[in-house]
Structure 1
Amino acid sequence: MLLASLSLFALFARRAAAAVSPFVEPPAELFSPLIAKKVLATAEAFPSPAMYPQYTDRVEGKWNWVILDKWTTGFFPATLYAMHARTKLCHHSSVGDGDQWLALDARGHTGDLAHPQQHEHRARRRLSQKPGQPNCNFGGERVLRRPGGRFSEIVGCTRSWDTDDPTDFQVIIDNMMNLEICLMGRQLFFASEALTGNHTLRDMAISHADKTMANHIRPDGSSFHVVDYNSTTGVVIKQRTYQGYADNSTWSRGQEWGIYGFATMYKHTQKYDYIQTARRMSDYFLDNLPDDGVVPWDFNAPLDPPRPADSSAAMIAANGLLLLANRRPPSSTPLALRATPTLPSRLAWAPTWQSLLSNGTVNTPKQNTLTGMVYGMQSSVVLPAELLTNCLAGRRRLLFITAGNTLVEKGLASC
């Protein structure tokens, strides 16, 4: 039942196929009027003092709300920003008003932010504001400086988790999603010179990506979830998992974080090793996707009992493959067309839930499966948008929205 509920609307074409695969229309749910209604309802339900939606219960799909210091609290504000982006692409009333989404983003989302991955969206929004606008300099500078405080010159990475043992320096594959904020100072350097002033964060991002290539990615393109370093020597202590099936298995969401992260690093640096790593990781993903097209929680988990699926991993994969397709000419079109089938089908769509999708896996070892998750929401909005504007050129609520936007921007879907 779980696998059926997450069946993908088409299977991937194999990378060995030389011909372009027939394009499969993305699910209509990516542009459902329910998206704006659900996002708005969640924004208007924010408690005071502010708490943030994280994941839902397994029965009614109602949000579990968490305090500001949880790592997921930035995804819903990013979802609001993704909805603002959608209004620029989809010119009809069902997506809401752009100014409304920005106002909701600013309201109640201005506290001190503990985790850099939470607020790339705020840096992007604040840095894109005109000089002199309220909170522009303050917000942008604070967010851009946040990742640097956790970087170790000895290890060459940013620390993911704090531990009781200060010599245990833990780095997770998820951090590849954080590096773009370190590169934004370069991307927007001329527009925000007063905020950045140097390339320190860019150098940190490159160092972190290089270390991740060396120590997280296996020769076959699969990945470890966690690498433990000795903070005083930089030596690798252990390569393991926290949310996957086993230390030598491949946790699917981590694999997708890597695809997206390395494709992003190539976009900003043009370093060939990054695009090659993203390709190897995407090849592993495509080659190990089950015949039924359902993205499992872990590619190496036993089939009996049935392993949980993860709709958030499917959304991240779709976004990562589309980004990769935009960076690997002349074969971009086939890869872009192969990305859309990763999107969860309408059977993962949850009209009565507060989240956009169901059947997400937060953490199988902790028995937290079959939920809706806030980090699938944004990708679902953005992906359709990107596919509208250029045929050749995702987290679940966030990723669902992101996915829709991307498809629109690339000319592969319409609102």
Structure 2
Amino acid sequence: MHLVSLVCLATLVGFSREASPPSQLYDPLVAQKLLTSAQSVPNNPIQYPQYTSRDNGQWQYFPADYWTTGFLPAACYALYTRFNSLCPNSTAANQFLELGRGLSTGEVPLEAHTTVGHDVGFLSFPFVDEVAIDKSNQTAVTAVNTFATLLADRFNAIVGCTRSWDTSDPTDFQVIIDNMMNLQVLFDSEALTGNTTLRDIAMSHADKTMQNHVRPDGSSYHVVEYNSTTGDVIRRRTAQGYADNSTWTRGQAWGVYGFANMYRNTQQTRYLDTARQMASYYISQVPSDGIVPWDFNAPLDPPRPADSSAAMIATVGLLMLSQQEASLSPSNTSGAQYWSDAAIKLLSDNTAFAWKPEWQSLLSNGTVNNPASPPNNLTGIIYGDHYFIEAGNQLISMGLANCSNSSSTSPAPSSPPTTQHTSGASRTHRLWW
């Protein structure tokens, strides 16, 4: 999309450049809550939080063999990064590094057996973080390479994609938009091994997703089913959205992030263009109050639930897109500012809405799976919290926020907090959008 179109779009949707990063990003409660969550995971066997209860915000725990397992240790690594280099505090940095390492060990058995299929990319997150810190850590290197191999083994050259969900019919080859997020582990393993076939698989999958998941207006289908023997598209549908032709907002966010990340790894302009297109659609569909619903096309009656996790994922994708515009030669400074302004507004609106000091999660009002029976919504979600922390890190790295309101001046607590913080929580927490 040309820059002039982006400017027009900003006018059409009432976009404001006045939003500033929410103070809650750097509230001491972020570190305190994450520390408590990390120290409270059940052991023997270890279990990991995925989402909270709807009534009191208590984490619900699941076995390690689940796609969300890597997010808690990855969030610990993200706070290590914050306290190690962005807002220096050596005591807090060391504490979160050790927590991230300790929680990651529960994933190691998944290298030998896991049922998460394509989601091994999500499992790899904390090991990738560890390799960035210590390239000599062979346990982490092996984990990254093993998870990449497991994903590559799901590739079908006729379809041109890695299989997402397994089915009883081997010819029914299902691919979901979420799988764009798992491609990163292929690039990470290529960097470690020099195996360029992994890059080829990632690009093939992205090209097919661009061709068959992304609609002409930049919206997306959740699921595309292929015939594994011919490569033909059988059906386009949804599993977690409102309807087959609607746009599930978390899936759209995965697409924005995924294609921006593909450009970061390949410098292929088609991926940048697709990320811009999907991001433009996303921004154009956000309601006037800024709160992201579970599905952009779901009816307003009955009220549709919000999804703070979709907003956080999209925020980080938009910030990545902003950095890529700035890195172009010549730099697209107007485009970079447009995307970062949009990200900050999205982050600010949805944080004010979902910040829940009394809950164990950082944010509330996430939707895990609204079509489920019963619907799984109105919760805190571990991946929403992870991308909330990541957004705070990215804003500091980009020079768009500072540590003045962060907990960098005092060590992270060694025990759960005894008081509840309420800073920045003056807005009423609505249950539905």
> Normalization by structure 1: what TM-score?
0.86
Asked if structure 1 preserves the Cα contact closer than 8 Å seen for 2:104 and 2:127, the reply is no
Structure 1 residues 87, 410: closer, same or farther in 2, change over 3 A? Answer: same
Secondary structure in 2 matching 1:112: helix
Aligned pair 1:279/2:276, yes or no? yes
Q: Residue deviations 1:202-227, cap 9 Å, x none?
A: 11100000000000000111000001
Asked if structure 1 preserves the Cα contact closer than 8 Å seen for 2:291 and 2:353, the reply is no
Aligned pair 1:231/2:263, yes or no? no
In 2, Cα distance between the equivalents of 1:251 and 1:137? 35
Gaps of 5+ in 1: 1-11, 376-395
Secondary structure in 2 matching 1:303: coil
- Map of 2:49 onto structure 1: 53
Structure 1 residues 325, 130: closer, same or farther in 2, change over 3 A? Answer: closer
Aligned pair 1:414/2:402, yes or no? yes
2:367 to 331, 343, 361: 361
- Map of 2:241 onto structure 1: 244
- Map of 1:80 onto structure 2: 76
1:322 to 319, 335, 338: 319
- Map of 1:378 onto structure 2: none
In 1, Cα distance between the equivalents of 2:122 and 2:298? 30
Asked if structure 2 preserves the Cα contact closer than 8 Å seen for 1:129 and 1:136, the reply is no
Counterpart code for 1:154: I
Asked if structure 1 preserves the Cα contact closer than 8 Å seen for 2:74 and 2:129, the reply is no
- Map of 1:5 onto structure 2: none
In 1, Cα distance between the equivalents of 2:148 and 2:127? 7
Asked if structure 1 preserves the Cα contact closer than 8 Å seen for 2:294 and 2:305, the reply is yes
Structure 1 residues 373, 214: closer, same or farther in 2, change over 3 A? Answer: same
Bigger mean CA offset, 136-145 vs 240-249 = 136-145
Secondary structure in 2 matching 1:144: helix
Counterpart code for 1:143: F
- Map of 1:306 onto structure 2: 303
In 2, Cα distance between the equivalents of 1:245 and 1:96? 46
Q: Residue deviations 1:264-311, cap 9 Å, x none?
A: 001111111111111111111111111121111111111111111111
Q: Cα distance, 1:159 vs. partner?
A: 1.1
In 2, Cα distance between the equivalents of 1:353 and 1:104? 21
Bigger mean CA offset, 54-63 vs 174-183 = 174-183
Q: Cα distance, 1:135 vs. partner?
A: 2.1
Q: Residue deviations 1:344-374, cap 9 Å, x none?
A: 1333111111100000111111111100000
Asked if structure 2 preserves the Cα contact closer than 8 Å seen for 1:250 and 1:298, the reply is yes
Q: Cα distance, 1:125 vs. partner?
A: 2.7
Aligned pair 1:404/2:392, yes or no? yes
Q: Cα distance, 1:235 vs. partner?
A: 1.1
Secondary structure in 2 matching 1:128: helix
Structure 1 residues 297, 229: closer, same or farther in 2, change over 3 A? Answer: same
2:28 to 33, 44, 51: 33
Bigger mean CA offset, 174-183 vs 243-252 = 174-183
Secondary structure in 1 matching 2:357: coil
In 2, Cα distance between the equivalents of 1:24 and 1:404? 15
- Map of 1:349 onto structure 2: 355
- Map of 1:391 onto structure 2: none
Bigger mean CA offset, 156-165 vs 200-209 = 156-165
In 1, Cα distance between the equivalents of 2:144 and 2:369? 32
In 2, Cα distance between the equivalents of 1:200 and 1:273? 20
Fraction of identical pairs, as percent:
51
- Map of 2:263 onto structure 1: 266
Aligned pair 1:168/2:172, yes or no? yes
Asked if structure 2 preserves the Cα contact closer than 8 Å seen for 1:21 and 1:334, the reply is no
Secondary structure in 2 matching 1:71: coil
Asked if structure 1 preserves the Cα contact closer than 8 Å seen for 2:82 and 2:88, the reply is no
Counterpart code for 1:370: L
Q: What does 1:72-111 correspond to in 2, within 5 Å?
A: 72-91=68-87, 97-110=92-105, 111=108
In 2, Cα distance between the equivalents of 1:373 and 1:176? 20
- Map of 1:15 onto structure 2: 9
Q: Cα distance, 1:322 vs. partner?
A: 0.9
Gaps of 5+ in 2: 1-5, 326-331, 404-433
User: How big is the alpha-carbon RMSD for the aligned residues of Structure 1 and Structure 2?
Assistant: 2.1
Asked if structure 2 preserves the Cα contact closer than 8 Å seen for 1:14 and 1:286, the reply is no
Counterpart code for 2:386: L
2:182 to 169, 173, 178: 178
In 1, Cα distance between the equivalents of 2:390 and 2:8? 25
Q: Cα distance, 1:100 vs. partner?
A: 1.9
Q: Residue deviations 1:101-160, cap 9 Å, x none?
A: 221122142223333122332342343354544524433332332321211112111111
Aligned pair 1:66/2:54, yes or no? no
In 2, Cα distance between the equivalents of 1:136 and 1:335? 34
Structure 1 residues 350, 216: closer, same or farther in 2, change over 3 A? Answer: same
In 2, Cα distance between the equivalents of 1:87 and 1:81? 10
1:338 to 342, 350, 357: 342
Asked if structure 2 preserves the Cα contact closer than 8 Å seen for 1:256 and 1:313, the reply is yes
Secondary structure in 2 matching 1:200: helix
2:378 to 370, 374, 388: 370
Asked if structure 2 preserves the Cα contact closer than 8 Å seen for 1:325 and 1:333, the reply is yes
